[in-house]
Amino acid sequence: MSDMLSPVLMVVGTSSHAGKSTLVAGLCRIFSRAGYRVAPFKAQNMSNNAAVTDDGREVGRAQAVQAMAAGIPVTVDMNPILLKPQSDRTSQVVVLGQARDRRDARQYYDRVAELWPVVTGALDRLRAGFDLVIAEGAGSPAEINLEPYDIVNMRVARYANAPALLVGDIERGGVFASLYGTVALLSPEDRALIRGFVVNKFRGDPSLLDPGYAMLEERTGIPTLGTLPYLDLSSVPNEDGLDWNEKHPNTPSETVIDVAIMRLPRIANVDEFQPLIAEPGVSVRWIDSGDELGEPDLIIVPGTKSTMADLDWLRHRGLDRGLRVRRAIGTPILGICGGFQMLGAELVDEKGVEGSGQVSGLGLLPVVTTFEPEKLTRRVTGRIAGDCALWDTSDDVGSLDGYEIHMGRTTAIPGAALSAAPFTIDGGAEGCTSDDGRVVGTYLHGLLENASLRRAMLARLAARKGKQLADMPMPLTADQALESLADALASHLDLDSIGRMVGLPVGLAR
């Protein structure tokens, strides 16, 4: 490696969900505010929440959010390897933003050596173009059974000679044992790279932890550089999805609009619903059986990485019957991406993209989807083109930003009765609306992140009930939430010590 390459700060965790992605995003914003050109990096990510780059390739959603925090566009170098689970055993392997093939775990690990040059090449390009790269690990670096196949945790730190922060989630319990045990299981070379502990999600008086920190440093030689409180991250796009069981902040008496979203096993891009969840007066319920459907004001069938398998799951759970009942009553139904495909009359997979064969869809839209090996990924700008139960051309929403990630091509059945397509993209029609406007299907992810469209839709749904949404302030945008996150981290981290690790003072003391 050239000495001209910029430093790397590594963030690893004692487990998944310890807070690595959040810490990287906050640090990206902190170093960016200090005037440095900073880029995030995660060598290998496993997630069905993906983002599309400006040049039409896909990366993990977390790296897109971290790039937003750094104030730069996301690129494939920030997440060179993306694994998108398609079943309990197989994942689609996306390399530098392009789908390559589908492998099970053993096949992937047997061939992981060929991906290491992809990882180092991407990291070196980032280091050559930025003042600092903040790299995120995956899971835990102490998964000793997987250490020979590591291309995302301490092997990256060793390659870049990067100091590492180890994050532990105190809410899970046993945080001191987790931090100590993780360090103990590392090789001496890797252990020497761990320069600081960070404890995350603490509720209470942090001084109560001081004796534990002292003993931990005595036994490991590693100081604790911060205790992060439990933070409200509801407005920060969440890579790993949402907490299905978390209670909604609105009480039943405050709920004006009840939204039911199907909790598909391979649900994808679930973060796009966070702005909806944050809206005052809106209650979002995640349902996985027909008995839970109730009487919602809107039903959403979301995207999925495995449309045909999740359609079969949906039928086994009785959700198909529930949809037909609500359709007859006139409840609006929105299908996004894979959900759009399910709402159609038929799904055809002659090329083995998701398996093989041909199955009937839910029959709520007169369209047919044919799966193709080539994935379509692109960022798009569109406009409302047709009227429906959710919005119409009289709504002043302007242009809409969104993105597409799908392998199916959906076409209308000739002669079918349809309303105008809901959107136009580059002058062409996009999506499908039933003849009465009650069922809408679209390939556009991110629609509900457009505040003007979301508010217009909610106002229309409330009006159907003879109600109005309270004139409440808009929920935080993702950028505002990242700014708030950075402020919180700056208040609870020893930023002077972290800055010295990489030779870049941030000018903010703890």
Domain residues of the chain, as ranges? Answer: 8-47+65-75+130-235+480-501, 257-464
Give the model's pLDDT for residue 211. 94
b/e map of 370-399 (b: 16 or more CB within 10 Å)? bbeeebebbebebebbbbbbbbbeebebee
d(CA 237, CA 376): 23
Q: Which CATH architecture has domain 257-464?
A: 3-Layer(aba) Sandwich (3.40)
d(CA 262, CA 314): 8
Task: Retrieve residue 321's tokens.
Answer: 């019957």
Give the model's pLDDT for residue 247. 45
The residues with which 428 forms a beta bridge, in sequence order, are 425
C-alpha distance from residue 200 to each of 229, 305, 344, 432 (Å)? 6, 31, 45, 45
d(CA 37, CA 35): 7
Helix (H, G, I), strand (E, B) or coil at 184: helix
408 Cβ partners below 8 Å, 6+ apart?
Answer: 307, 341, 347, 369, 370, 371, 372
Give, as one character, the DSSP assignment of residue 467: -
Check if the beta carbon of residue 504 is closer than 8 Å to that of residue 132: yes
| Series of mean pLDDT values for 10-residue runs along the chain (510 residues) | 81 93 95 96 91 92 94 96 83 88 77 92 97 96 89 96 96 92 96 96 90 95 94 70 50 78 92 88 92 95 93 95 95 96 94 84 94 89 90 88 90 83 87 92 93 92 84 76 92 94 74
CATH classification (class only), 8-47+65-75+130-235+480-501: alpha beta
Give the model's pLDDT for residue 9. 98
Asked if 28 is an active-site residue, the reply is: no
Give, as one character, the DSSP assignment of residue 418: B
Catalytic, out of 28, 337, 388, 432:
337
Query: Which amino acid belongs to residue 181?
Result: G
Give the model's pLDDT for residue 112. 84
Give the model's pLDDT for residue 1. 42
Query: What is the pTM (predicted TM-score) of this model?
Result: 0.86
Are domains 8-47+65-75+130-235+480-501 and 257-464 of this chain identical in fold?
yes
Check if the beta carbon of residue 262 is closer than 8 Å to that of residue 287: yes
Given the DSSP bridges, would you call strands 8-13 and 357-360 parallel, antiparallel or unpaired? Answer: unpaired
Q: At what angle do helices 61-70 and 478-492 cross, to 10 degrees?
A: 70
Task: Retrieve residue 462's tokens.
Answer: 């409330």
Helix ranges restricted to H, 405-450: none
Catalytic, out of 388, 432, 445, 492:
445
CA dihedral 166, 133, 477, 402 (to 10 degrees): -120
Asked if 445 is an active-site residue, the reply is: yes
Give the model's pLDDT for residue 473. 67
